[in-house]
Amino acid sequence: MSKLVIVGTVAFDAIETPFGKTDKILGGAATFIALAASHFQVDGAIVSVVGGDFPQADIDMLSSKGMDVSGLQIVKDGKTFFWAGKYHNDMNSRETLVTELNVLADFNPVVPSAYLDAEVVMLGNLHPLVQLSVIEQMIDPKLIVLDTMNFWMDNALEDLKLVISKVDVITINDEEARQLTGEFSLVVAAQKIIEMGPKYVIIKKGEHGALLFHRDEVFYAPALPLEKVFDPTGAGDTFAGGFTGYLTKTEDYSFENMKTAIINGSALASFCVEKFGTERLLELSKKELHQRLQQFKNLTQFDIGLT
């Protein structure tokens, strides 16, 4: 079976939405990526760092999902990364209330030796140089997927460009794609990003779905129209985890199979937003996922008709 290396934060989040608020709960990019990928029973490893305040029960939970946690460093006298945020009424904009880097400030990622030959690497949002360090440790990965955000474009653009030049797939949201390239048209923006290195560009458009670009091909994955988005936290990471988890499981990194991987990622993300934090992902059944994939299929199928 192929192996998946997951790099990203393991964190505490405190979330406020129009529907309620939480105390510190389990969060972080690597957490969401791992939980999403685990729905495909992949052999994954989490590369991250937490403080002595991080519950052993959460580590055990990740382990029980088939994740190797030997690359999850525990800094006993340190504190876990903490983020607090508030979503506004339309759920499309959010305000960061608190960011405490804590142990993340000195994070030096170490990929467990048993995973240095992993086929797939998912680089969750982190400082580009941390992401780069992981790439450099890997022996011969078949697929490196990068997630990033505008913060690094503002604060570490040259480092970010270096990482981008070394990955196969980048996931980025529409505004970030525009910022990175200075192009308004997402088609042109994607072309420019492909010139920077990645063979595949996934542009995430939130409630409007996602676009996958490769050479002159494009695929449009819809988002499921939802009555209510309860908490968007982790949706992008869940998408990335579903995408890489599916590819790792199927060992097929073609454009055609990436379409299916994106739909699986979108389906998992559509569950993620139904409850706070990781709650919905943790209780999600195989049957529910299958039904939702069928909903995505029904949502988009049509005949072209007469002509």
**Residues lying near a second copy in the complex (CB under 8 A):** 40, 89-91, 184-188, 205, 207-209, 211, 218-222, 225-229, 246, 249-250, 257, 259-264, 286, 289-290, 293-294, 296-297, 299-307
Question: Residue 47 or residue 189: which is nearer to a second copy going by CB?
Answer: 189
Find the farthest-apart pair of alpha carbons in the chain and give their distance in angstroms, rounded. 69
CB of 131 to a second copy, least distance (A): 28
CB of 223 to a second copy, least distance (A): 8
CB of 61 to a second copy, least distance (A): 23
Interatomic CA distance for residues 112 and 282, integer angstroms: 25
Q: Which of 207, 304, 287, 217 is nearest to 259 (CA)?
A: 217
Interatomic CA distance for residues 179 and 192, integer angstroms: 12
Q: Which amino acid belongs to residue 149?
A: M
CB of 220 to a second copy, least distance (A): 4
Interatomic CA distance for residues 270 and 274, integer angstroms: 7
Question: Residue 75 or residue 91: which is nearer to a second copy going by CB?
Answer: 91
Question: Residue 108 or residue 298: which is nearer to a second copy going by CB?
Answer: 298
Question: Residue 54 or residue 296: which is nearer to a second copy going by CB?
Answer: 296
Interatomic CA distance for residues 62 and 177, integer angstroms: 32
Task: Note whether 236 and 269 are within 8 A (CB).
Answer: yes
CB of 226 to a second copy, least distance (A): 6
- ∠ CA 99-105-109, nearest 5°, is 125
Question: Residue 10 or residue 267: which is nearer to a second copy going by CB?
Answer: 267
